[in-house]
Amino acid sequence: MRCLVVGGGAREHAIGLALARAEAEIVVASLNANPGLERLARASARVDPTDAARVAALGRAQHVDFAVIGPEAPLASGVADALRAAEIPTVGPDQSAARIESSKLFCRELLTRHGIAGQPKWVAPETPEDVDRTLVAFPAPFVVKPSGLTAGKGVWVQGSDFTDPKEAGAYAKSILLQGGRVLLEEKVAGEEFSQMAFVTDSGVYPMPAVQDFKRALEGDKGGNTGGMGSYSQRDHLLPFLSAADRDRALKIVNAAAAAMRAEGLSYRGILYGGFMLTAEGPRLLEFNARFGDPEGINVLTLYEEGDFAELLLGVATGRVDPNLIQFRLRSTVVKYLVPPGYGDRPKPGGLLTLDAGAIEASGVHVVYGSVDAVGPGTVRLGTSRGVALVGEASAIHEAGSRVESALAFVKGEYYLRHDIGTKKDLEARWEHMRRLRAPNAKPSPLPLSVAPPDAPASSAGPPEQLLS
């Protein structure tokens, strides 16, 4: 089977690795030459992934059986529409359905129109005067969210990105004055998690839940980034997320998919729910129309036993074989190596030398992101996330320790968050959720950190969720 991968980041390298395990032939359309993808690709072209006509022409010229679109920008610019018009089955929604990510306002209005529960309070002021009026009445703390795409960096949260509502008001007005739309949303307290699913017009097929670390610095300090790392747990839940919590989140994912279908929007692709687990249950922060980055790297690492090319072709054609939804029961931790100053003032150009053989031999996978190959084992960092190291093990903290040990085989100037996937961080999140849910109860230890490493998983995730 021959597949066109659109995009050249670490998420697309992880997609490529899963396709290569299925012995698919890979054709790449990207602006950069990702060293990992280049090694896997049968053909690769330096094409702007948002250039719909050129991407479709490449897919046609290469006689691909299907295409998979990695990043959000090509979805927002109609690349899936162009590929479908060229009769290439595609994993990724058309531009109109991709608005679930590219227009936060469309997403909130869709969920509201269909009475879908689990949304924070929100309002979308239309003018600068409206912003002033809204701020007087809107409950603090709150969040300012540009409606359009911002590569994960445009959201301002009270208490982290601003304290004075006037600052937030000025930010909201600046978005309106530049011709954009903006939302003010209630800030909800809890732990964030990502629940992705393969979605076709007839079914929703969930993946393991993942927790992403969006803040640049340890202890969740610093500015918002695309994600500094992430972890998943072997039973496909999370330490603080029960099967009941996950199922409530999936109900919202299902309802959103059904709402799009009811409005005549065909959806064949990945639907990513970004949730906050609150004391009252999951609240939907946003939907994305693609694999998360880094969350996609966690789940794709676990996809080994099925045929990923068949699965993606099924998503693209709307005929998924549920037997192909097979994620291994292992915990994973992803940590990104990024240029110093990433998130604020990244310093590009630093060289990283990786002994990939020694890293892989230690049970850690190397996934390349925004880097240029310089020579054997050496890459140059740009201004974005450079290389993802993926550890896997039975327990999350063991997977995290594996990544830390693998750093012995990396030389160069880089930054990463050491706290991701540590026992201390997992326990802090568990305790945070416990305090929110039962403030007066005695602290209880995190059970998974003491579970025997090879204990059987409590749940492999629900079977296929059919649209109602």
Chain contacts with ligand GLY (rule: CB under 6 A)? 152, 212, 226-227, 288, 292-293, 295
User: Considering only CA atoms, which of 224, 229, 241 is closest in space to residue 295?
Assistant: 229
Residue showing tokens 């961080």: 425
Instruction: Compute the least distance from the CB of residue 275 to ligand GLY, in Å.
Output: 12
For residues 138 and 415, which CB has a smaller minimum distance to ligand GLY in the complex?
415
Closer by beta carbon to ligand GLY, 212 or else 419: 212
Token representation of residue 289 = 């129309």
Task: Tell the smallest beta-carbon distance from residue 155 to ligand GLY (Å).
Answer: 11
| Minimum separation from the CB atom of position 390 to ligand GLY (A) | 15
Residue 373 has φ and ψ, to the nearest 5°, of -70, 135
Q: Which residue, 272 or 414, is less far from ligand GLY as judged by CB? A: 272
In the complex, the smallest distance separating the C-beta of residue 185 from ligand GLY, rounded to whole angstroms, is: 16
Is there a contact between 69 and 80 (Cβ–Cβ < 8 Å)?
Answer: yes
**Between residues 65 and 212, which has the closer beta carbon with respect to ligand GLY?**
212
Rounded least distance, CB 463 to ligand GLY, Å: 26
Nearest-approach distance from CB 295 to ligand GLY, in angstroms: 6
CB 307, min distance to ligand GLY, A:
25
Looking at the Cβ atoms of 74 and 292, the one nearer to ligand GLY is 292
At residue 127's C-alpha, the angle toward residues 122 and 129, to 5°, is 95
Q: Hey, is 252 helix, strand or coil?
A: helix
Calpha distance 441→327 (Å, rounded): 35
Identify which of residues 227 and 239 has a Cβ nearer to ligand GLY in the complex: 227
- Name the minimum Å distance from CB 344 to ligand GLY: 18
Q: Are 421 and 335 a contacting pair, CB within 8 Å?
A: yes
Burial 388-417 (b: 16+ CB within 10 A, else e): bbbbbbbbbbbbbbbbbebbebbebebbbb
C-alpha–C-alpha distance, residues 76 and 293, integer Å: 17
The two three-digit tokens of residue 339, written as one number = 């240029």
Q: Cα(290)–Cα(324) distance, rounded to whole angstroms?
A: 19
Q: Which residues contact 114 (CB under 8 A, 6 or more apart)?
A: 255, 258, 259, 262
Q: Which is nearer to ligand GLY, 227 or 282 (CB)?
A: 227
Amino acid in the structure at residue 7:
G
Whichever of 212 and 235 has its CB closer to ligand GLY, that residue is 212
Cα 64–Cα 65–Cα 66 angle in degrees, nearest 5: 90
Entry field: residues in the chain: 468
Q: Nearer to ligand GLY by C-beta: 286 or 310?
A: 286
442 Cβ contact partners less than 8 Å away, ≥ 6 residues apart: none
Nearest Cα neighbor of 358 from 394, 300, 402 is 402
CA atoms within 13 A on the CB side of 38: 13
What is the nearest approach in angstroms of ligand GLY to the Cβ of residue 279? 24
Helix (H, G, I), strand (E, B) or coil at 458: coil
Residue number of the CB closest to ligand GLY reads 227
In the complex, the smallest distance separating the C-beta of residue 101 from ligand GLY, rounded to whole angstroms, is 9
If the CB atoms of residues 65 and 293 are measured against ligand GLY, the closer one turns out to be 293
| DSSP secondary structure letter of residue 339 | -
Least distance (Å) between residue 336 CB and ligand GLY: 10
CA angle centred on 286, ends 93 and 143, rounded to 5°: 145
Q: Which lies closer to ligand GLY via its Cβ, residue 215 or residue 330?
A: 215
Contact 309, 376 (CB under 8 A): no
